[in-house]
């Protein structure tokens, strides 16, 4: 077990005390969260995912909200901290009250993935580290049994995840258990121990394999027959999830309409860029031309990792001291290929509070894929790294003197973070890093794809009508099949990625639109501050001040930026 480190010092005061205490309580109640944000002493454990465990975490949120409600802020920092805490923990409370927590199961972000992925974050340098891993592996069966109990209890009252999610997650579980033709994830993990393997590691691997095999069987044999074929969650539930992921009360009809306008704007520009790449070519034709160009290709997954690392390192070096204030701690960003079995795509994991684990960019690719087109992915490195997630999250973690531990470590709002990361891609274009038309087409495609997410995610879950003049099944109402067709025919995103995306939207309602909607707010806020400050406006200062406030919901962010 890791030796507890001294916690980073933070601001004083009752609001900060309650916030910090809540972080400690969450870490104890959910050791996976503790590992993610670097709270020591819990790495050998897994959470209680049973109905009792779910209820206890709900009570923690309710009690903390009640306590902080009676505390008056004494300064601007504590007022900001209270606003952030009440909004974020309030959304957690709302989900528990609505009974939307205990049957959490989807293809990308649910307990089924969390239990597997937490092992990616655990240190492996010493025999003690491997003993901790072995202990956590041995805890997987009880943890997943509790998860099954919660899913079963929710099903008894009529709440069952959609069949699409149940089937897909069962497939993931079989892959991780080693039942899909390849060795299990856990056996591959243990290979890294070598001579450091202790006597309990093999038993832990076997226990985790059996647990995931059992979960796959439970999902297939028991939950799937009760699962509804309907994917859409409807407007009431969608609004709850949307508020969780945005921290705002959105006008969904306006967001849907804006998504179409933004999609059309980007599509028009992509046609212009495609014509420059290959005169007379369509967007898809220009993409095929770039895919065939050896200047934009790397072969082998390790080569992809090296390319990611080199581009990330170069961005850090170039932007530091010119466009952003990047402290030494943030200059380390590790790029890795994710273990097989999960959905395709890139993601970021932030540094621990004591900085013993740096920020990491992971790329999940099909296990059998060896050829990659870099023109599509340059902007992704900027999104996940610098000036995207690594700068945004790392800056907050580095604000120990000004932000409490909840603000630094536990507060994550997709519309804030993903919105910033998409805005960061646009910034790199403004800074001159996407002047190559191939790389620019990749950036525009990423933004087109995120605009499509606004349209399809809201459209499918609310079953909205496709407007006239869009050139796509006009007048029909969205279905999953139409969502897939739209992405395959109106974007140039990798088809393997696209197929995962539709499953993601349907299982994670309200999250996918946060990228574009968050970017929209960042751009609007920048223009408003610039308009107020006039010639005194300094873009570098605006970015630094905004990021140092830490993550918060969009409504709270709008209020705070209005004071700049």
Residues 6+ apart with CB under 8 A from 272: none
Residue 119 lies in a domain: no
3-class SS at 2? coil
Residue 294 lies in a domain: yes
Report the run of H or E that residue 373 belongs to, with start and end: strand 371-373
**Would you give the end-to-end CA distance of the chain in angstroms?**
45
Residue with tokens 């070598």: 194
To the question of pTM greater than 0.75 for the whole model, the response is yes
Number of domains the chain contains = 1
Q: Are 473 and 442 in contact (CB under 8 A)?
A: no
Q: What are phi and psi of 68, to 5 degrees?
A: -75, -20
Give the structural domain span for 447: 244-515
What digits encode the pLDDT tens for the residues 456-468? 999 999 999 999 9
Q: Are 263 and 448 in contact (CB under 8 A)?
A: yes
Q: How far apart are CA 315 and CA 226, in angstroms?
A: 50
Residue 206 lies in a domain: no
Residue 328 lies in a domain: yes
What is the DSSP secondary-structure string of 117-171?
HGGGGS--SSHHHHHHHHHHHHTHHHHHHHHHHHHHHHHHTT----HHHHHHHHH
Residue 404 lies in a domain: yes
What pLDDT is recorded for position 343?
65
Residue 390 lies in a domain: yes
Q: How far apart are CA 269 and CA 538, in angstroms?
A: 29
Residues 6+ apart with CB under 8 A from 390: 330, 333, 348, 350, 359, 361, 384
Q: Are 291 and 373 in contact (CB under 8 A)?
A: yes
Residue 338 lies in a domain: yes
User: Would you say residue 5 has pLDDT above 60?
Assistant: no
Helix/strand/coil (H/E/C) assignment for every residue in 51-86: HHHHHHHHHHHHHHHHHHHCCCCCCHHHHHHHHHHH
Establish how many alpha carbons lie within 13 A of residue 113's alpha carbon, considering only the half-sphere containing its beta carbon: 18
The residues with which 124 forms a beta bridge, in sequence order, are none
What pLDDT is recorded for position 364?
86
Residue 309 lies in a domain: yes
Residues 6+ apart with CB under 8 A from 328: none
User: Would you say residue 159 has pLDDT above 60?
Assistant: yes
| Strand 359-364, strand 333-337: pairing | parallel
Residue 367: which pLDDT band, with cuts at 50, 70 and 90?
A: confident
Residue range 132-158: mean pLDDT, rounded: 98
């Amino acid at each position: 077990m890791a030796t507890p480190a001294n916690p980073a010092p933070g601001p004083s005061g009752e609001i900060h005390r309650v916030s910090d205490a809540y972080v400690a309580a969450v870490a104890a109640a959910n050791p996976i969260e503790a590992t993610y944000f670097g709270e020591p002493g819990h790495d050998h454990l897994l959470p209680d995912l049973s109905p009792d465990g779910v209820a206890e975490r709900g009570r923690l949120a309710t009690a903390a909200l009640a306590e902080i409600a009676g505390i008056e802020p004494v300064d601007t920092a504590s007022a900001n901290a209270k606003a952030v805490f009440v909004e974020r923990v309030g959304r957690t409370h709302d989900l528990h009250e609505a009974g939307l927590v205990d049957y959490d199961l989807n293809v990308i972000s649910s307990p089924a993935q969390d239990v597997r992925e937490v092992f990616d974050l655990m240190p492996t340098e010493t025999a003690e580290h491997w003993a901790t891993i072995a202990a956590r592996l041995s805890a997987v069966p009880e943890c997943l049994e509790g998860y099954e109990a919660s899913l079963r209890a929710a099903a008894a009252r009529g709440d069952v995840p959609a069949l699409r999610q149940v089937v897909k997650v069962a497939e993931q579980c079989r892959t991780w258990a080693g039942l899909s033709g390849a060795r299990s994830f856990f056996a591959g993990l243990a290979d890294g121990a070598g001579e450091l393997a202790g006597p309990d590691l093999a038993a832990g691997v076997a226990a985790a394999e059996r647990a995931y095999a059992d979960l796959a069987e439970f999902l297939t044999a028991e939950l799937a027959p009760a699962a509804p074929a309907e994917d859409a969650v409807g407007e009431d539930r969608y609004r709850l999830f949307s508020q969780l992921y945005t921290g705002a009360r959105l006008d969904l009809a306006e967001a849907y309409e804006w998504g179409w306008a933004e999609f059309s704007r980007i599509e028009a520009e992509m046609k212009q860029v495609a014509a420059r790449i290959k005169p007379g070519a369509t967007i898809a034709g220009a993409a095929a031309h770039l895919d065939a160009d050896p200047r934009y290709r790397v072969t082998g997954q390790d080569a992809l990792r090296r390319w990611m690392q080199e581009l990330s390192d170069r961005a850090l070096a170039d932007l530091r001291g010119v466009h952003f204030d990047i402290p030494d701690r943030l200059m380390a960003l590790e790029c890795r290929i994710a273990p097989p079995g999960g959905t395709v795509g890139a993601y970021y994991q932030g540094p621990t509070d004591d900085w013993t684990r740096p920020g990491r960019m992971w790329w999940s690719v099909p296990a059998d894929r060896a050829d990659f087109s870099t023109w599509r992915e340059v902007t992704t490195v900027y999104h996940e790294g610098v000036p995207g997630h690594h700068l945004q999250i790392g800056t907050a973690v580095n604000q120990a003197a000004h932000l409490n531990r909840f603000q630094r470590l536990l507060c994550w709002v997709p519309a804030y973070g993903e919105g910033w990361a998409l805005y960061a891609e646009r910034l790199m274009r403004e800074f001159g890093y996407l002047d190559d038309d191939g790389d620019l087409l990749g950036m525009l495609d990423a933004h087109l794809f995120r605009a499509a997410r606004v349209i399809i995610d809201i459209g499918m879950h609310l079953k909205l009508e496709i407007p006239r003049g869009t050139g796509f099944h006009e007048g029909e109402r969205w279905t999953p099949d139409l969502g897939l067709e739209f992405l395959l025919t109106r974007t140039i995103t990798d088809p393997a990625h696209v197929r995962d995306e539709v499953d993601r939207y349907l299982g994670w309602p309200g999250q996918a639109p946060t990228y574009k909607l968050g970017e929209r707010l960042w751009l609007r806020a920048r223009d408003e501050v610039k308009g107020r400050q006039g010639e005194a406006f300094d873009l570098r200062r605006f970015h630094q001040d905004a990021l140092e406030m830490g993550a918060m919901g969009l409504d709270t962010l709008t209020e705070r930026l209005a004071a700049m």
